[in-house]
């Protein structure tokens, strides 16, 4: 059996008490996979060093073998805070107005990808299968090929792929996309992102797409497909049964004092639509004074990427907006918004989800959004809550029985909240059962097996034809 080598920006083996709201789905998904498959997880440790040496720190814990490197402060500033999170992240989330183009960011991005490649290449054996993750490491396939690797190498993008008309605003966009042709398989979260990639290849690179999903550009061929990520369903549903989940459930119910609870759980990020969500909730309070004192919004938003100034700005705006809403509508015995800037572990979140009548998940653009799936998985089958979901989340294509809304429209959010609060039990059960079956079937095991099996099935390279 071939080993599986996973490469991602950060290596953070998940533990049961890790703050899921802050960590995101990648660490959870990869951790579950690496416990099952023999192999290695390589990436940045999250630590800084004065001088990059390429020293690898090997560690094995809870069935997961990791190999990490430290990066210089300049690397972190230019590669991570710079190109990854101030250039690619906003652009790929359709926020061209926030994307920053700086020559030093691009050079730092290339430099760190090269350092990843030269450090991990000696650890990779000829029969290993390599799986590279996310927008931080798009050029890594080319770097590994230049290091002489002929292995089967796959790449999975966890965030959206932007339309061609936006991507062409990126300096050297063609060079970046051509570097992806050195992978054997490219995976996207849903058909929309895949179609956008194909559209770019056809119109900017003069490529073609075969019926089986093979993309052909000159002499290069690469498979591309849709592989939507799921939750670790078995582990999450076990967490729902835990004492810790029950305590969190009881805690929220008791503090809500018979009020209807609406919950949102997101990293503190402009792509999550929290500001627009607050405006939508405000519109609901304006239009439905009969619900004053009867409903509350619990928004959990752990901080992220504090080094990037746009995140400081969104936090300031949310602090101000939540304060204005509470100041304008609160009574001595009722506060309409509980806004919490900290993370909770998955067992606690499961309890909060189960105790909430509505899950309000309204990102402006999201590759997938596993919180929506976790909310569904946590519900009581006899009295399930209602999921309100942005139609621009990748998960909307799988969770069609949610109340789908345009997150930019405060009126749609307001109307959906009222519809959810008034929804009869039989309709809540019907919608929930359909979504639950999807979440249970298309889980993280289904996702990783689908991608890895497809990668195993590609033809191994007999020679190197590096994209240029």
Q: Which of 9, 39, 3 is nearest to 27 (CA)?
A: 9
Cα 424 from Cα 123, distance rounded (Å):
57
Out of 134, 182, 269, 366, pick the active-site residue. 366
> Are the C-beta atoms of residues 155 and 189 closer than 8 Å to each other?
no
Cα 176 from Cα 139, distance rounded (Å):
7
> Are the C-beta atoms of residues 438 and 398 closer than 8 Å to each other?
yes
DSSP assignments along 356-415, one per residue: -SEEEE--SSBS--HHHHHHHHTS-TTS--EEEEETTBGGGGT-TTSEEE-TT-HHHHHH
The edge-to-edge listing of strands for the beta sheet with 260-265 is 337-340, 295-300, 260-265, 358-361, 386-390, 403-405
DSSP assignments along 124-149, one per residue: --TT-EEEEESGGGTTHHHHHHHTT-
Cα 420 from Cα 196, distance rounded (Å):
33
Out of 70, 93, 158, 443, pick the active-site residue. 158
Cα 118 from Cα 137, distance rounded (Å):
14
Q: Which residues contact 187 (CB under 8 A, 6 or more apart)?
A: 154, 155, 156, 157, 224, 225, 226, 227, 451, 454
- Reported residue count of the chain is 468
Tell me if residue 243 is catalytic. Answer: no
Cα 38 from Cα 127, distance rounded (Å):
13
**Cβ of 218: how many Cβ atoms within 10 Å?**
13
Give the H/E segment covering residue 153: strand 152-156
CA angle at 440 for the pair 436 and 443, rounded to the nearest 5°: 130
Tell me if residue 437 is catalytic. Answer: no
- Bridge partners, residue 60, by sequence: 65
Cα 158 from Cα 262, distance rounded (Å):
27
Give the H/E segment covering residue 275: helix 274-287
Task: Just list the catalytic residues.
Answer: 158, 366
């Amino acid at each position: 059996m071939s080993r599986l080598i996973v490469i991602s920006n950060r290596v953070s083996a998940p533990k049961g008490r890790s703050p899921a709201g802050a960590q995101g789905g990648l660490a959870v998904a990869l951790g579950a996979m690496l416990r099952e498959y023999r192999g290695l997880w390589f990436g940045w440790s999250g630590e800084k060093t004065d001088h990059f040496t390429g020293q690898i720190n090997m560690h094995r814990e809870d069935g997961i073998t990791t190999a990490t490197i430290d990066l210089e402060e300049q690397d972190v500033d230019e590669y991570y805070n710079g190109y990854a999170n101030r250039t690619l992240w906003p652009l790929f989330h359709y926020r061209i107005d926030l994307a920053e183009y700086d020559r030093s960011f691009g050079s730092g991005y290339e430099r760190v990808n090269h350092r990843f490649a030269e450090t991990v290449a000696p650890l990779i054996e000829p029969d290993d299968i390599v799986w590279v993750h996310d927008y931080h490491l798009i050029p890594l396939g080319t770097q590994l090929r230049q290091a002489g690797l002929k292995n089967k190498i796959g790449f999975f993008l966890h965030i959206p792929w932007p339309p061609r008309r936006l991507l062409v605003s990126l300096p050297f966009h063609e060079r970046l996309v051509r570097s992806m042709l050195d992978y054997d398989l490219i995976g996207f979260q849903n058909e929309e992102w895949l179609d956008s990639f194909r559209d770019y290849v056809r119109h900017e690179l003069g490529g073609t797409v075969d019926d089986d999903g093979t993309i052909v550009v000159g002499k290069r061929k690469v498979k591309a497909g849709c592989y939507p990520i799921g939750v670790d369903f078995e582990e999450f549903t076990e967490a729902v049964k835990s004492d810790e989940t029950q305590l969190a459930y009881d805690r929220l119910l008791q503090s809500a004092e018979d009020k209807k609870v609406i919950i949102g759980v997101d990293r503190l990020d402009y792509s999550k639509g929290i500001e627009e969500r607050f405006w939508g909730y405000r519109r609901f309070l304006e239009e439905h004074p009969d619900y004053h004192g009867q409903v509350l919004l619990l928004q959990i938003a752990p901080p992220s990427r504090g080094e990037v100034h746009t995140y400081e700005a969104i936090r300031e705006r949310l602090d101000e907006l939540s304060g204005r809403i509470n100041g304008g509508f609160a009574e001595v015995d009722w506060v309409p918004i509980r806004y919490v800037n900290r993370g909770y572990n998955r067992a606690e979140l499961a309890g909060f989800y189960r105790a909430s009548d509505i899950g309000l998940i309204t990102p402006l653009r999201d590759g997938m959004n596993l919180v929506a799936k976790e909310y569904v998985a946590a519900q009581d089958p006899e009295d399930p809550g209602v999921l309100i979901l942005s139609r621009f989340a990748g998960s909307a294509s799988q969770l069609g029985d949610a109340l789908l809304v345009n997150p930019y429209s405060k009126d749609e959010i307001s109307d959906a909240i009222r519809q959810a609060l008034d929804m009869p039990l039989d309709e809540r059960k019907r919608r929930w059962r359909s979504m639950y079956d999807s979440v249970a079937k298309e889980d993280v095991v289904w996702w990783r097996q689908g991608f890895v099996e497809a990668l195993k099935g590609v033809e191994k390279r007999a020679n190197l034809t590096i994209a240029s």
